[in-house]
Amino acid sequence: MFPRDFAWGAGTAAYQIEGGWQADGKGPSIWDAFCHENGRVFGEQNGDVACNSYELWEKDLECIQQLGVTHYRLSLSWARLLPDGTTRHVNQTGVQYYNKVIDDLLACDVSPMVTLYHFDLPQTLQDQGGWKSPGIATLFDSYAKFCFQTFGDRVKLWITINEPHVCAKLGYEDGIHAPGLKEKGTAAYLVGHNMLRAHAMAWHSYNSVYRPQQKGAVSLALNSDWFEPSDQHCNEDIAAAERDLAFTLGWFAWPVFVTGDYPEVMRTAIDARSAKLRYNGASRLPSFSSDDPAILGTADFFALNYYTSRKVKPGGGCGETLCIKSDRDAEEVLDSSWPICGVSWLAVVPYGLRKLLKYIKDTFNNPEVYITENGFSQVGQLQMEDVQRCEFYKDTIMEVAKAIHQDGVNVRGYFAWSLMDNFEWADGFSVRFGLFHVDFSDAKLRRTIYRSGREYAKIIEKYKSGQPK
């Protein structure tokens, strides 16, 4: 059984589905720029057209209705609404597009969960330093207020920033996501810091100005694998798994849910490593100052993106240079009993979600939790009768039920990633997470439900009313 008002959803993100990258006055984003550079994305692909949801939204809506979800998670393209990133110039056609999406959803009795930032910073703001610049927090807050003001009469669930960990690490440390920088061991911490400041400013704006009338809830979506010690009886491995959790989830969840500051273990490890390498200067992990908005308490629920698990032991650094991997001193390995399905990083470990949910309950003061992403990919030979993905969803949803009933975790909703096959960042269209297949060789980009989509629809139908039918 699931709670009667449990949110059953599916998710997408603007850059991954919309296309229309220059349509009707939209400004460029860092993902437009990144994909247009050679050698960045698989097969030199890009999201110029993607699923063309900018023109084919009605087709997406049909898919959403076919699944019977109660909720749909989408993101807004900042540069479609505010082409240069600032409220000096509003693109009314962009506003109309999202108004239609939101109104159509509500007319079909589907509640929108809206993410303000899913990786696609307006390029104009990147040119001014992007997330490394402290001023970005105020610019994000203005954008957020604009969105609350424009759409908040109808949108009641907001995510400010999706996966700050991924934005910071993949975008500024590993360089495999936009903006493609590899400033190892420094920039990602600064970016994460400014994302937390930006998120907190937006939450405070909502809380004081919009919440009284709009009565919605705001959080940020945090990604984490479940990390467990390679050897459960080895103290070093146990400590390494704890460090990994701190460097992934704790980095953002600790300030927001526990202390208003970073996990102690993170700062200690980073500063010890700086000292060892004779790095001069202030701590690479910035500190919050009294001028910053209070970070503690700036989430009305916990939003978790979970995909996979890792076994952990000490090690796995980058030699005598600075990098996050050396700071965290946690080497991640796969358990050979975990099947890899589709993309190489995705070991299928449904029980890891239950463990992570219990960890969140115990560590972050028993918050309401929405699982805002969870999914399974296909690569290569595609199967419309994707039985493995069907099993994956069934097993995972069973683990969520156990987390609720046996562990007492307050899980409020589950969003499958993704509604349909889409532009999977650096992997382009080669990795498919959809519940609907998209034929990218067809001019109409036809959407066709996979077997897993039909199965998910059945699960939703069965549990939607609270009682299994």
Site size toward ligand GAL (CB under 6 A) is: 12
Which CB sits closer to ligand GAL, 133 or 388?
388
Does residue 10 interact with ligand GAL by CB under 6 A? no
Question: Does 18 interact with ligand GAL (rule: CB under 6 A)?
Answer: no
Among 79, 102, 114, 166, the residue binding ligand GAL under the rule CB under 6 A is 166
Residue number with CB closer to ligand GAL (339 or 466):
339
Nearer to ligand GAL, 331 or 424 (CB): 424
**Catalytic: which of 18, 173, 228, 373?**
373
102 binds ligand GAL (CB under 6 A): no
Q: Is 163 in the site for ligand GAL (CB under 6 A)?
A: yes
In the complex with ligand GAL, the residue whose CB is nearer, 161 or 196, is 161
242 is catalytic: no
Task: Tell me if 295 contacts ligand GAL by CB under 6 A.
Answer: no
Among 7, 13, 299, 426, contact with ligand GAL (rule: CB under 6 A): 13
Q: Which is nearer to ligand GAL, 13 or 82 (CB)?
A: 13
Cβ 215 to ligand GAL shortest distance, Å: 27
Q: Does 31 bind ligand GAL (CB under 6 A)?
A: no
Cβ count near 387 (within 10 Å): 11
Q: Please give the residue whose beta carbon sits closest to ligand GAL in the complex.
A: 13
Q: Is 331 in the site for ligand GAL (CB under 6 A)?
A: no
Residue 115 near ligand GAL by CB under 6 A: no
Q: Is 64 in the site for ligand GAL (CB under 6 A)?
A: no
140 near ligand GAL, rule: CB under 6 A: no
Check residue 160 for interaction with ligand GAL (CB under 6 A): no
Scan residues 214-233 and list those touching ligand GAL (CB under 6 A).
223
Q: Considering only 120-128, 186-194, 321-329, 417-425, which stretch makes contact with ligand GAL by CB under 6 A?
A: 417-425
Does 445 help bind ligand GAL (rule: CB under 6 A)? no
- State the nearest-atom distance from the C-beta of 248 to ligand GAL, in Å: 12
Q: Which of 148, 151, 425, 450 binds ligand GAL (CB under 6 A)?
A: 425
For the chain, what is the HEC assignment? CCCCCCEEEEECCHHHHCCCCCHHHCCCEHHHHHHCCCCCCHHHCCCCCCCCHHHHHHHHHHHHHHHCCCEEEEECCHHHHCCCCCCCCCCHHHHHHHHHHHHHHHHCCCEEEEEEECCCCEHHHHCCCHHHCCCHHHHHHHHHHHHHHHHCCCCCEEEEEECHHHHHHHHHHCCCCCCCCCCCCCHHHHHHHHHHHHHHHHHHHHHHHHHHHHCCEEEEEEECCEEEECCCCCHHHHHHHHHHHHHHHHHHHHHHHHCCCCCHHHHHHHHHHHHHCCCCCCCCCCCCCCCCCCCCCCCCCEEEECCCEEEEECCCCCCCCCCHHHHHCCEEECCCCCCECCCCCCECCHHHHHHHHHHHHHHCCCCCEEEEECCCCEECCCCCCCHHHHHHHHHHHHHHHHHHHCCCCCEEEEEEECCECCCCHHHCCCEECCCEEECCCCCCCCEEECHHHHHHHHHHHHHCCCCCC
Residue positions annotated with a catalytic role: 373
Residues that bind ligand GAL (CB under 6 A): 13, 16, 162-163, 166, 223, 305, 373, 417, 424-425, 433
